[in-house]
Amino acid sequence: MLKHQLNAVLFDLDGTLLDTAPDMARAANRVLADHQIPPLTPAQIQANTSYGANGLLAAGFGTIPDHLDPRALRLQFLEYYLSDICLETVTYHGIDSLLRYLKENSIPWGIMTNKPGFLTQQLLPFFPELNEAEVIVCGDTLAKAKPHPDPLWHACELLKVAPQHCLYVGDIEKDMIAARSAGMPGAVAGWGYIGMEHTPHLWQADIILAEPAALIQLLEQQNRNGRPFFNQSCYS
């Protein structure tokens, strides 16, 4: 059981703060159509959006033919995605209230995403509430990306908080691996891109949250009694 006071929160972006699946899937489907491959199914989109271009394209192609260059396919995806990066992307229900709670209670928060910086910079201006993040660390900010702990440590340094006092919220197992490697408590965003084949209860997270409001409830409990609230289940 963790015994440290929670003083800050870091969030993943895709599948945690933003539902980017419609726009990312559209870009992937354009690439697939260029090569006469059927579009992604809703289940494939749900399960693979958090893995970015490579995850979506791998799901669509199954096995990429030898005559196609995966790097070229990814560049093609990025070109399509960047051209229409925010047609249908939205914040998840309850995120605005959660971020407002953090602001009103002076709890520092930031974004640590594997999304490339140039895409993150293009997307965030559509969401003023996300631009209030005190820290934004992207997949190419450092030489190493998640699940390596360096980006999380870097974000904690910028927030001036020790890792053990900072919660990392993400929606895939890689996020929880990164949190453990960094010595941070990890919370699964149960509202994110968790497919039927995923098993978040096996990801060794400290907590699984059913909705953003569950994090507010836990922070309120911490304020009331000062006891650690991790190793509880809020997943439904």
User: pLDDT tens across 61-117, in order?
Assistant: 998 888 999 999 999 999 999 999 999 999 999 999 999 999 999 999 999 999 999
- Find tokens 């941070």 and name the residue: 184
Burial 158-197 (b: 16+ CB within 10 A, else e): ebebebbbbbbbbbbbbbbbbbbbbebbbbbbbbbbbeee
Instruction: Kindly state the tokens that stand for 121.
Output: 């910079």
What is the model's pLDDT at position 230?
Answer: 42
What is the model's pLDDT at position 1?
Answer: 43
For a pLDDT cut of 70, what percent of the chain falls above it? 93
pTM assigned to the model:
0.91
What is the model's pLDDT at position 227?
Answer: 52
What is the model's pLDDT at position 232?
Answer: 39
**Active-site pick, 12, 14, 175, 206:** 12
14 tagged catalytic: no
What is the model's pLDDT at position 209?
Answer: 95
> What letter would DSSP give residue 205?
-
Q: Kindly indicate the confidence band of residue 226, based on its pLDDT and cuts at 50, 70 and 90.
A: low
Q: What are phi and psi of 72, to 5 degrees?
A: -65, -40
